[in-house]
Amino acid sequence: MSTAAAPTLSAHSVTGRLPALDALRAIGAVAVVGHHVGFQTAVTMNAAWGGWLARLDVGVAIFFSLSGFLLFRPWALSLATGQPRPRTGRYLWRRGLRILPAYWLAVLVCFVVLPDNRPVSVGDWIRHLTFTQIYEPGKLRYGLSQTWSLATEVVFYLLLPLIAVLTLGRSWRPVRTLVITSAGSLLTVGWLAMMAIGWLDTVLHTMWFPSYAAWFSVGMALAVVHVALRTGTAPAAFRVLDDLASAPAACWATALALMAIATTPIAGPRDLTGPTPAEFAVKLTLYLAIAALILIPVAFGGTNWLKEAFSAAPTRWMGTVSYGLFLWHPLVIELIYLLDDRPLFSGGLLNTFALTMAFGLVYAAASYYGVERPLQRLGSQPRRRTPGRSRASGTPAADAPTPDVAAPA
């Protein structure tokens, strides 16, 4: 049975940061780089083992589930510990500072630097600056094709405060909240059903938020279980995730086995051909399970070798700059081919991957230290309260901590 009573615990003392999760962002970002390099060099389509490169877009599933976990957790934690809930305005302000400036800079540079983007229309500027480039076919420009997932994730950012209100209610009931958050998968099921009957297509509409609601939902569901376990409000059944996390090798081996299944045609074509609704559904399901199995050993349970490895400084730094790597690596790929005068679908895989990672990390570090970190510090500064108002005045919200989100892909 779940409990509605809120223990007198501070949010930070219960969970604090989960530093090992930073490394998952790095894994997701590097996977996406490998996916794009594999396609650009045509290894994805031509090599017998190219299916592994084609399915490295599983990094998107890792990003989305990690976003659901990290961003929903403060709302669940505030209710479970009796703390004031996060302020919606504060949350949106910090999300904006975290995502927008570096993204807008990447859009500006890609439009100005890449010849294939010229001329840039007013519509191109409006669509890419407002994350609406995915709602019409053929509007993603060179160096910015990866931003479809960021546009999808922004929808989740905007909906999250409403989702938190609807799923959490006024009292902490983890079983109820788990069921409601898991039901978000029904949105994806309904979306797939409309594809199956021909109301939606599997090229344009596979980029929209409903296609991936299940991935965000699994992250939120895991956040509910995590908070319940750490606050002592979990039913016994929830402890299975801590037990599962004690076998990280088994979890990741199972994820690898599911990845092997995903490399077959059952999960759709390797190229840009649209999958059938059934193939897309299989791919979504396999990726959801893979993302959950990768996340559980890092977020749950006690200390294990995987957490220790992921808590090391180099891997955490890679996670720190992973958003910049996500933003800039397609531009780096375009510049490699432009400056070397390479035709599309040519070049060596390892050479191109090494160059993309090396220069992508340079761009990512410049983005983080020059743009992202200064603005994150601005966003973390406490905002002045209106004189004469206090917590006792009936204001229910607070500037509760909002963890950094995983870099979208």
pLDDT tens for 146-163 read 999 999 999 999 999 999
Both tokens of 49, joined, read 């083992």
Identity at 9, one-letter amino acid code: L
From the list 2, 397, 403, the residue with the least C-alpha distance to 178 is: 2
In this prediction, residues 260-277 reach a mean pLDDT of 93
Centroid of chain to Cα 82: 28
**Tokens 């002045």 appear where?**
384
Using DSSP's 3-state secondary structure scheme, residue 23 falls into: helix
Using DSSP's 3-state secondary structure scheme, residue 398 falls into: strand
What is the Cα–Cα distance from 147 to 155, expressed in whole angstroms?
13
What is the Cα–Cα distance from 202 to 138, expressed in whole angstroms?
14
Least confident residue range of 8-12, 94-98, 100-104: 8-12
CA angle (280, 282, 287) in 5-degree steps? 95
Burial of 320 (0-12, 13-18, 19+ CB in 10 A): buried
User: In whole angstroms, how far apart are CA 181 and each of 125, 164, 313?
Assistant: 35, 9, 34
What is the Cα–Cα distance from 295 to 219, expressed in whole angstroms?
9
User: In whole angstroms, how far apart are CA 386 and each of 47, 161, 163, 215, 383?
Assistant: 63, 23, 28, 39, 10
Cβ–Cβ under 8 Å, residues 59 and 409: yes
pLDDT tens for 127-144 read 999 999 999 999 999 999
pTM beyond 0.75, yes or no: yes
